[in-house]
Every structure is written in C-alpha cells, then in structure tokens.
Structure 1
Amino acid sequence: MADPSVFAQILDYSNRANPYPLYAELRKTPVARQENGSYVVSTYREIEELLHDPRMSSDVRNLAHPAAGVPSQESSPSFLRLDPPEHDRLRRLAMRHFGPPHTPGRVDGMVPDLRGIVTRLIDGFAGRNEVDVVDDFAYPFPVTVICELLGVPREDEPRFHVWVEAGLEALDPKAASPEQQQKHAQASAEMGQYLTELIESHRRSPGSDLLSAMVTDDGPDGRMSQEQLLSTAFLLLVAGHETTVNLITNGMLTLLRHPDVLERLRRDPDLPIRLVEELLRYEPPVHFVPWRAALDDIEIADTTIPAGSQVILVLASGSRDPEHAREPDRFDPDRFDPDRFGLARDDDQHLGFGGGIHYCFGAPLARLETQIALRELACRLEHPRLVADPPPYRPNPVLRGPLHLPVRFDGIVPAQPTATTGRHEPEEQPVAQGT
C-alpha cells in the first residue's frame, strides 16, 4: 500500500495537535493534486489569489465529480455556499441589521453586555482551582452572545447543541459513515422545525434582535424567503459561536505556552487588538476551506486546475508561509503593530477570516469577544497553568481546536467595579473592528 499523502496525514487525527510541520511539507508543492482528483492549495499567494478569483465557486453543484465527504447541496443553501449575484443579495440582507452602513452601532453597542457575561462566567470559578476553559468559558460565552443577538432563547441551547454537533460532522472532508449521514439528516430536520417555529414567533412579535429584523425587513433587496431565512438563521447560529469557541480556546492555550505574552497582556490594555490578529494567523479557528469548485480551467503555480475540480484552500498553512510572514512559526503579536511595521491593514496579513466575497461575516464580533475574553482571563486568573499539553482535540480537521482545556489556577482576582453602576465588570479596554 502506498504511503498516505501529506494532506491525508493532516486529516488523520493523530496529527491534530500539531499539523504545522505537515503544512510546511505541503507547501513544497503549492498546488497538489490528490488521488480523488481534488487540488490542495497551501501557499499564501496562491490561496489569496483564488479567494478573489471569480472562477472559483462555493456552490458544490458546480463540482464535476464530487469526492467522498462533499456534502449534498440543500434546496436553499446559506449564502456561504452560493455565488454572486444571489450570494451578494442574501449577505446584504443579513448585514443590513448587523453592521455598517445601515446598523453601525450594533456590535459596538454589545460591549457592556459582552463584558458582563465574561465577568459572570469568571466569577463562577470562585472556590475552584481548576476549570475546563472550553466547557466553563469558551463555549458558554459566545453561545450566550449569539442567542441574545439572534433572539434565540438561551434555555434552548442544549437542544440545538446536539443538532450543531451533528452538522459539524458533515464538515469533515473524509466520507461520513451511513450512521453519521442519518444523524445529520435527522438533526437538520429537527433544527429546521425549531427555527421555523422561532421565525414565526418573531414575525408575530418582533423584537430588537437580528432575526426579527431579517423577518420584517422591507429594504431595497426585498425580503428573504422562508427557506432563505431558515438557512441564514442556521448559518449565523452555528458560525456565530463555533469558530469563536476555537479562537478563544486556542488563544488561552497559546498564552499559557507563552507566559511572557500572558504577563504583557495583564499590563498592556492595548495588546489585545494585536494579540488576536496574531492568533488568527498563528492558531486560527478554521484551518481550511474544503469545498470550492473551479468554474473554468485555472492556471496557477505551474499547475492547471481543470474546470469542475474540487479545490481545498488550506488557510492555516498559507498564514504560516515563510514567503509571506517573518519567522512564521514564532508567536509575535508585535508583527501586527502598524506603527512599527507600517502595515496598511491588519486583516490583510493573515487568512484567519478567509478573504474575498466570503470574508467572515462575523469577524467584528469574533474579534471583540476574543479580545475581551483573553484579557479578562489573563487579568483575573492567578498563576494559571495547563493540566495537559497537548490537550485533547476535537476530531474535526476543518474547525480545529481543543475539545477540552483543563487549566489550574491559585485563585480569582475580583473584577473592577464600574464607577457608574458599582457592578463588577472588567475594566475599559480598546477594541478593534473587522471589515
């Protein structure tokens, strides 16, 4: 039997804790054809080029020969799996109520609530000397935020958590078993019924949440259909917390491996902005985009990708490409200091949020959540340390992050009370916005 390809080794769970040496090997062939006919792209310049190439489709119906593991396309897919012009219309409809120019203050207006949630979660560590950063903090924080943002009852989280986990299994590029396929189909049906009832509730009694705004929108692009509302709500609910869980957890793991940076974070309120940008480059929550289709023959890196081929963009490899980043395997938040290096825009320097028309919809919120979360964990946990290194990882190679992250500490520093309310909330800190 032939040795497995480098990309096959990356997909193997045994390499989940540290795929980066394999990424270095993968970059020796920037565009590599796999046995199943797909093409894996691993270098920054080529990934960036393809992310902006209109000949690259996100609609899997454009694959000539779908490989094992490629999900079937839904009758009404989310805009994440659509191409222009329909992608652009649906994304505009969702963005009208989430960010600039129509709703510029929604994310900024969430800052007090974000800080309050983080404070309450850390206050809950009192009397303990060990927590699981995933279960006790990194998961409940963004889940609470996205529930409040969308208008989803927080008490329903245990129900949709099961459905989301089943859906994430479908992201694995390896073929799902018949049992996994059946589980995913059942979860999709149950989630669809739940969201249908929730949408009708918001239509009858709209509130100030994002789902109510989308249901009642009469903007220039018209309203979303019922199926489009369902697919968009599902996308925002899942993407609105899953990637942030990984980003926060990867961030805490990285800080505990770099105690000098952890100590700087306690002293420097300006550091979180640069720190999160470096995390998005160094330990991103999404490692590759597994399903893109070439609409035409594409010549790139001395390789022809034939029309109809599946293309896999390995974002995490591109961000550590030594042809792009200085000392790419070194964790250095100062590389994103524009005063030091004269960089035009932080998000131009890594692929942590993808790029092109599918640039991460929730990037501003994810940045904000992670900046606040890591700053407060650093400031309030006394002498935090890892219980196990490496920790156990989630099985999914696309959304890569620890399954659990046990951390021991000696105590909890009280939160700083605000001058206006007397409530215990984290101190003010600057935040960065996305594009």
Structure 2
Amino acid sequence: MTQASLVRRITDFASRADPYPLYEELRRTPVLHEEEGGPYVISSYYDIEGLLHDPRISSDAANLAAAGDDGTAQAESAGLPPSFLRLDPPEHDRLRRIAGSAFGPPHRPRRVENLRGEMASVVTGLIDGFGDARRIDLVDRFAYPFPVTVICRLLGVPREDEPRFRSWVDPLVATLDPGTRRSADAAFVRTAQEARTQLGMYLAGLVEQRTREPQDDLLSDLVHSQGPDGPMTMMEVLSTAVLLLIAGHETTVNLITNGMLTLLRHPDVLQRLREDPGLSVRIVEELLRYEPPVQIVPQRTCLTDVEVRGVTIPKGARLWLVLAAGNRDPERFTDPGRFDPDREDLQHLGFGSGVHSCFGAPLARLETQLALSELARRLVDPRLVEDPPPYRANAVLRGPRRLDLAFTGLR
C-alpha cells in the first residue's frame, strides 16, 4: 500500500465511522509526505504538540493560499478579512485579547459560568420536549439545538434566525474538509464565498444595532471594546463574530453526539455517570482525547525549514496535524484505544494547544458536561438503534450526522 493511498483513505468518507486503525497505520510514518507539493502529515502526540507551539509554523491564510490550499483560503477571500484563527502573532494576539476580554477574564470573568443555570434550563426543556416519543435522533432533537441556542444567547443573535445562518454555515464548514477541498471546483468555492458574504452582511445588521443600542451580549462588547489594544474595526468585529458563531456550535454538536455514542458503547460508564453527575468532568476530558470533535488541523504552513524526526519540512510546505492520531499515540498514553475516564493524565490535544488553542473550550466543556449528565440521568434504558450511525462527510469535524436512540421512558 502506498503512502498516498493511506492519506486518501483517511479522508475518504468510507473511513469516517472508524478512522482509528488508519491513524495507527499513519503513526508508523510520523512524518508522511504523500506527493510533491502535497502536505506533510504529522501524527505523533509530541511532534504535534511541539509544532502547535512552534513560532515557525504559520496559520496565516495568506501563507496557506501561497502554499496551494484550494478551498478555505479562496472561500475566505470574499468580503471579510480572515478571523484571528487564520492570523499569526502579533495581529492574532491583539484580536484574540480583545475577543477574550468580552468572553472571559479580566472584564467578563464569569460570563460563561453565569450561563450555567440558563443552559441547564435549555437542556431540561429539550429533554422534556421528547414527550411521549420513545425513539429520537439525538442530533436533531438535542445535540444541535442546545449549543446553537447557547451561542445565539451569548452573541446576541436572535434564535429564530438560526435557519437562515445554518444555510450559510454549512458550505463554510465544508471548506475545512481536506477531502472536499482536494476536488474543489469553481462552483464549490463560489458557494462558500457567497455564504461568507451573506453571513457577514447579516451580522453587519446586528452590529449596527449594537452600535446604537448596546445590550448584554458578546457582540455589543466587541463593538464597544475600549481595552489597551484599542477597538476592533467593523470588519474585524464581523470576522470575529463569524468565527464565534460557527465554532461556538459546530464542534460542540460533535462532542455531545460522540459523547453519547461512546457512553452507550460503554454502559458501565453511563451507569456511573447516572449515579454521579460529577463524573462528567472527567468523562468529557477523556472524550476529548478518545473521540475528539476536531480530528485534523490542515491549515498550517512552514515559515522556514523545520526538521521533525530527521525529516526536513521545507519552507512554504503545508502541514496536516492529525490531532486524533496523536490523542491515541502509545508513546504518550497507556492503552490509548481504551475509553477510561479514570486516567491519571488527561493532557490531550482535543482543543489543540499553543496560541491557537480553542477559544471556546470553557463553554464547550460546560455544555457537554451538562448535556451528558442530564441525558444519563433522565433517559430510561437508552440504546442505539444503529451502530455505527451515519456520519457527516467532514473528515476534520468528525461526528454522526444522525444518532437514533431508543429508550423506554424519561425520568
């Protein structure tokens, strides 16, 4: 089997239900280069962690475009500047600090924690909404509407507008998938560009409202930021809002769904969680290692030659960092293929690491802890209808498209 075919199999939809045997095969060649001009694929925990902290590795959208990326960079060329996720320091640091001051310490130290009661009410309401049904699609009835409701509340986006921005978010998320981008054509890129422009225009209307009439929401804080880094420009506010709106629910949908799927495959852990909701903290951390919602980070380039395990990765080359492979690296974790919330060491790559570590990690953790503990408590005799379930096409943001559950009642 050639190296190129291995990478193609990893991004192939046929492998989505269980890519982990392929990741094990990938780790045998820790620095994999499939073809001239193609990406260098990194799969070991320590190498990935080191590169995520290496200032010679760039996340800048302009560098990615120059390196030959054929999807994300073109889609982001429309209308709005790149978000801070797609910038390098120092500009990345400035924008992230401004956004962080609205999201958490020091100016809003309890913004996420103060939503706990409201989030718990949303969870209760969604589960109550199952009513007399004894079979549901967890994605449609719970895992999607919960984080969408929360991020809309946090940003100040009207929840009733969700059907509108969902139609714009889906094509933008598709550009993250290296399998999709490999075969991207002009129509694909144009659709993503139009979606980004339309989402930006929609948010511009909300920003204009918050400029005149500030409210208690994240969007108002971004508009009126007066910290030491100065205010964001209007375009920077819009690109940051697009990032937070998308990232604020897409990964959490997968984390909740992957989490319930994993618990149903491990009924002993599900029973422990039912009896001890506090176990949700350790369960979520192990889920971030064992079934991370972000499997691959394909948007990195080298600013200079970089040596990894004796292999020189040349300046300008693209990198794929396979977080999910690193999270099951036996060099780092004992018995890595076992789901074990009692692990002594849960330092995973589930939220990345370094300057681009997940901005919304505190929110995603709390949402998933509340969701899984309450589902465990209230569903009587839950079981999978189909295993494996049907998966989404995306190889980067991996999760079930549907998760059909049967149960005998609600507590």
> Normalization by structure 1: what TM-score?
0.91
- Give the Å deviation of 1:102: 2.3
CA contact (8 A) 1:169 1:180 kept: no
1:68: Cα distance to partner?
3.7
1:264 is matched with: 272
Whether contact under 8 Å (1:60, 1:293) holds in the other structure is no
> Taking structure 1 as reference, are residues 120 and 205 closer, same or farther at Cα in structure 2, changes over 3 Å only?
same
Aligned counterpart, 2:324: 316
Contact 1:126 1:411 in 2 (8 A): no
Question: Secondary structure in 2 aligned to 1:270?
Answer: helix
Structure 1 counterpart of 2:12: 12
| Residue 375 of structure 1: aligned partner | 373
| Separation of aligned partners in 2, 1:47 and 1:287 | 12
1-side partners of 2:59 and 2:402: how far apart? 32
Q: 1:424 maps to which residue? A: none
Aligned-residue offset at 1:3: 7.8
Matched-pair contact (CA < 8 Å) for 2:51–2:57: yes
Counterpart residue identity of residue 11, structure 1: T
- Match in the other structure for 1:283: 291
Q: Name the CA distance, whole Å, in 2 between partners of 1:256 and 1:7.
A: 30
Task: Choose the corresponding residue for 2:404, options 385, 395, 406.
Answer: 406
Q: Does residue 201 in structure 1 map to residue 209 in structure 2?
A: yes
Q: Which residue matches 1:71?
A: 73
Tell me, what secondary structure is at the counterpart of 1:333? coil
Moved more, 147-156 or 214-223: 214-223
Alignment of 1:279-358 (within 5 A): 279-335=287-343, 341=344, 343=345, 346=346, 349-358=347-356
- Show the counterpart of 2:26: 26
- Out of 147, 153, 157, the residue aligned to residue 152 of structure 1 is 157
The answer for the alignment partner of 2:109 in structure 1 is: 104
Contact 2:67 2:301 in 1 (8 A): no
CA distance in 2 between counterparts of 1:71 and 1:87 reads 17
TM-score normalised by L of structure 2: 0.96
Greater alpha carbon shift after TM alignment, 55-64 vs 193-202: 55-64
Q: Does residue 214 of the first structure (1) align with residue 222 of the second (2)?
A: yes
SS of the counterpart of 1:334? Answer: coil
* Partner in structure 2 of residue 128 of structure 1: 133
Taking a change above 3 Å as real, the CA distance of residues 188 and 67 of structure 1, as seen in their structure-2 partners, is closer
1:105 counterpart SS class: coil
Aligned to 1:170: 175
Residue deviations 1:235-288 (CA, integer Å, cap 9, x gap): 000000000000000000000111111000001122100000000000000001
Partners of 1:181 and 1:88 lie apart in 2 by 29
1:420 match: none
The aligned counterpart of 1:91 is 96
Give the CA deviation at 1:21. Answer: 0.1
C-alpha separation in 1, matches of 2:286 and 2:3: 34
Distance of 1:8 and 1:70 partners within structure 2: 19
Q: Deviation digits for residues 383-429 of structure 1, max 9, x if unmatched?
A: 0000100000000100000000000000111xxxxxxxxxxxxxxxx
1:128-168 deviation digits (Å, cap 9, x = unpaired) = 00111100000000000000000000000000000000111
Residue 282 of structure 2, aligned match among 274, 279, 285: 274
What CA distance in whole angstroms lies between the structure 1 residues aligned with 2:333 and 2:133? 41
Are residues 1:182 and 2:190 paired?
yes
Tell me what 2:48 maps to: 47
Q: What is the aligned counterpart of 1:242 among 250, 266, 289?
A: 250
Q: Distance in 1 between matches of 2:282 and 2:38?
A: 39
The corresponding residue for 1:388 is 386
What is the aligned length?
403
Contiguous gaps of at least 5 residues in structure 1:
336-340, 414-435
3-state SS of the aligned residue for 1:135?
helix
C-alpha contact (below 8 Å) 1:286/1:316 kept by paired residues: yes
Query: Structure 2 unaligned runs (5+)?
Result: none
The AA in structure 1 aligned to 2:6 is V
Alpha-carbon spacing, 1:94–1:70, altered in 2? closer, same or farther (3 Å): closer
Q: CA contact under 8 A between 1:169 and 1:396: conserved in structure 2?
A: yes
**Structure having the larger proportion of residues in helix:** 2
- C-alpha distance in 2 between matches for 1:101 and 1:325: 35
Task: Give the equivalent residue in structure 2 for 1:225.
Answer: 233
Q: Secondary structure at the match of 1:368?
A: helix
Equivalent in 364, 367, 383 of residue 366 of structure 1: 364
CA contact (8 A) 2:169 2:246 kept: yes
> 2: CA distance between counterparts of 1:311 and 1:77?
19
How much has 1:5 moved relative to structure 2? Answer: 2.4
Identify the match of residue 139 of structure 1 among 112, 122, 144: 144
